[in-house]
Structure 1
Amino acid sequence: MATHQASTKASHQVGFTYLSQEDLLDAGCFDLRMAIEVAEKAMLAFEDHRIMFPEKVVQIFDPVSQDRINCLPATLLDEKICGAKWVSVFPRNPKRFDVQNLSAIFILSEIEKGFPVAIMEGTLASNMRVAAIGAIAAKHLARKDSHSIGFIGAGEQAKMHLLAMKVVRPGIKECRVAAKTALEEEQFIDELSPILPDIDFIRVNTVARDAMLGADILVTATSAQAPLLKAEWMKPGAFYSHIGGWEDEYDVALQCDKIVCDDWDTVTHRTQTLSRMYKEGLLSHSDIHADLHELVSKQKPGRESDEERTYFNAVGLAYVDISLAQAMFKRAESAHIGLKLDLQETMLFEHHNIISKIRL
């Protein structure tokens, strides 16, 4: 009996979804509770060796200002997704051009065929990730009855951090903010007070001491390279979240009972306060209590007494960024939001008019 086998030509079309920041907002992706949950899950997967996390590529264009563009890859083995974040950090942008200092884009690819599935705006996810990591640290290291929070810095990261801190420490009722100008403090309050109406916002007229002194949670969110936070402003029982580079004097860390990093080995190669102290021989590996994932997995304890001063330093974990980007992509996909684009309609030499396109 003859066998008839229908011949079907394989489709060689390759497409992906494009997601703008507005698409992500419309899909409900500005969700800090989601970001915190995704980050915690990612850290546990990393600890379980379910994530590939190679070194990032850094290109610094100005050693003084640290203008730079970085490429940060990671692969989520369980989700079968490989991603990369292309992120620019230009600290002088706000002053020079009145624009944000950070912009980012994500590329996500599946790892069965290796084709891209999404290209998406990454600034929202980047800012959410930083805040989510700080909030997870506060969940383990800040007092549960934390009532007040103080900020040095009033930019996007300060705003994101307050929103995320409120998720894990809902008892926060007072926020004091110090910025370079009173106008920046007013803008911070004008933007966040309608979102958090139960918080009493206090503008301190650029006096950093008045924002920090006596606060249960202290946050420095600046691009400065100077010891802005003084040790005497940090009371017993306070938690300090260090976001930027060199933002606090060495005695802040030296007086703390626990120092935790998102990744201590990475910190040693950077320019944060702890990095400087390590390079100057003032801090060693044994002085670091834990990496954050060890608190999440309960390998090591978080806060153990009400009087402990605790210090957290984050430098950024790309695999958390990629995990969050993947979660945002799936949420947008479920909401049928995003623009479907073609990378190619067919393979190169299958184009019907390819001869006319070749130049020799």
Structure 2
Amino acid sequence: MTSSTLFLSQNDLIAAGATDIDLIGSVLTQAFRLHTEQDFTAPPSSFLKRSDCPHVADRIIGLSAHVGGEFNMEGIKWVASSHVNPDHGLPRANAVIILNDPIHRLPVAIMEGGLISAMRTAVVQGLAAKYLARPDAQTVGLVGAGRIGALTLWTLSQWFPHISDYRVFDVSAERARAFQEHMERQGVNVSIVKSFQAALAPADIGITATTESTPYVTADEFKSGSLFMNVSLMDPQFDFVMAADKVIVDDWEQCVHSDRVLARMHREGLLDRASIHGEFGEVVCGSIAGREHPDERIFWNPFGLAIEDIAVASVLYERSLARPLGQSIQLVDQEWDVLF
């Protein structure tokens, strides 16, 4: 067993396949199966939140897990966010992932985690659309012209080439135009609309990916037969969730541990485990149905699980070793060699 640690930059990860949505989709499908089989360990996420930084996007989250199966890896994603960063030309969120082997617990890899985090978030939405959206979906409405929204639309465009209408709304007209231009360079034509209602109300697949902390989306924007992806925090009002025929989460305990819309509804006695349809891994495994009727309104609430990050990171680590990619560094000392 080597005690060296592989350092992987974002460029290393791209070379290893971090932007290959088919690869990431395959890894995440297996991770969701392992979730249903309970072949994982993941404590509640740790939130570092200061009272003098009240904005919802100002925090650091630690997500740790052991993922079994073919991955058999432990690790943590340390993801930090600041809402002022875009004004300084910096990404709102950044992350570092550390992988530890499950026997000796040595740090086998340290890698840039922002790309992995963003890609797994976007690809999970693509997987959800495969199981939960109408197969004849034509219109996608997105609120929030940011990185996650861009990657999600790109994933949908690759896996659902029949979708013909992409709409985006953002409170910043400048950001919406930049988003439109970026997506056009990726071969995805996006129309800018003037309100969140214009984006979501006609959408077969509705997506919110914002840092909004005050609910604003009402049941009027929940189209019959649509899939709504609550990728961000507090966009939908309670009545929107209550209008759903099915509520599906990735992990019930993680969802109610947070301060997002389902957790708040749970605390107010409006929602419990028995009242939701189930967890997404159950759909993937076939133990519960996904979409059963073309008129169903399905509310999909992905909390974002550490097992997703660790599974993806472990595969990219193994692919990096095979290339080889990255830089080997020595973090672990030899016992007794310090001060003696």
Q: Aligned equivalents of 1:231 and 1:251: distance in 2? A: 6
Counterpart check, 1:222 vs 2:193:
no
Counterpart check, 1:41 vs 2:30:
yes
Structure 1 equivalent of residue 170 of structure 2: 179
Q: How big is each residue's C-alpha offset from its partner over 1:108-127, in whole Å with a ceiling of 9 and x where there is no partner?
A: 12123322211100001111
- 2:55 alignment partner, one of 65, 68, 72: 65
- 1:23 alignment partner, one of 4, 8, 12: 12
SS class of match (2:300): strand
Q: Aligned equivalents of 1:28 and 1:114: distance in 2? A: 25
The answer as to whether partners of 1:253 and 1:311 remain within 8 angstroms in 2 is: yes
SS class of match (2:214): strand
Deviation at 1:349, TM superposition (A): 4.1
Q: How big is each residue's C-alpha offset from its partner over 1:188-224, in whole Å with a ceiling of 9 and x where there is no partner?
A: 11112222x2x4320114x212212211110000000
The letter for the 2-side match of 1:184 is R
More strand by share: 1
The answer as to whether partners of 2:59 and 2:81 remain within 8 angstroms in 1 is: yes
- Judge which range, 214-223 or 46-55, deviates more: 46-55
- 1:120 alignment partner, one of 107, 111, 124: 111
Q: Aligned equivalents of 1:211 and 1:57: distance in 2? A: 34
The letter for the 2-side match of 1:262 is D
SS class of match (1:226): coil
Structure 2 equivalent of residue 201 of structure 1: 190
Go from structure 1 to structure 2 and tell me whether the alpha carbon gap of 1:285 and 1:13 turns closer, same or farther (over 3 Å shift): closer
Mark the runs of 5 or more structure 1 residues left unpaired by the alignment: 1-11, 356-360
Q: Aligned equivalents of 1:13 and 1:263: distance in 2? A: 35
Q: Where does 1:24-173 land on structure 2 (aligned, <5 Å)? A: 24-62=13-51, 64-66=54-56, 67-78=58-69, 79-95=71-87, 97-173=88-164
Deviation at 1:186, TM superposition (A): 1.2
The letter for the 2-side match of 1:242 is N
Go from structure 1 to structure 2 and tell me whether the alpha carbon gap of 1:340 and 1:299 turns closer, same or farther (over 3 Å shift): same
SS class of match (2:331): strand
Q: What TM-score comes out, normalization by structure 1 length?
A: 0.87
The letter for the 2-side match of 1:347 is Q
Q: Aligned equivalents of 1:246 and 1:349: distance in 2? A: 52
The letter for the 1-side match of 2:185 is P
Q: What TM-score comes out, normalization by structure 2 length?
A: 0.92
> Which entry has the higher C-alpha Rg, 1 or 2?
1
Deviation at 1:239, TM superposition (A): 0.7
- What is the aligned-residue RMSD (CA, Å)? 2.0
- 1:335 alignment partner, one of 302, 311, 323: 323
- 2:249 alignment partner, one of 261, 282, 289: 261
Q: Aligned equivalents of 1:266 and 1:293: distance in 2? A: 14
Deviation at 1:13, TM superposition (A): 6.8
Q: Aligned equivalents of 2:75 and 2:197: distance in 1? A: 42
Deviation at 1:158, TM superposition (A): 0.6
The answer as to whether partners of 2:66 and 2:72 remain within 8 angstroms in 1 is: yes
Q: How big is each residue's C-alpha offset from its partner over 1:81-100, in whole Å with a ceiling of 9 and x where there is no partner?
A: 211111112234324x3422
Aligned residues between the structures: 337
Structure 2 equivalent of residue 9 of structure 1: none
Percent identity between the aligned chains?
Answer: 30
Counterpart check, 1:310 vs 2:298:
yes
Mark the runs of 5 or more structure 2 residues left unpaired by the alignment: none
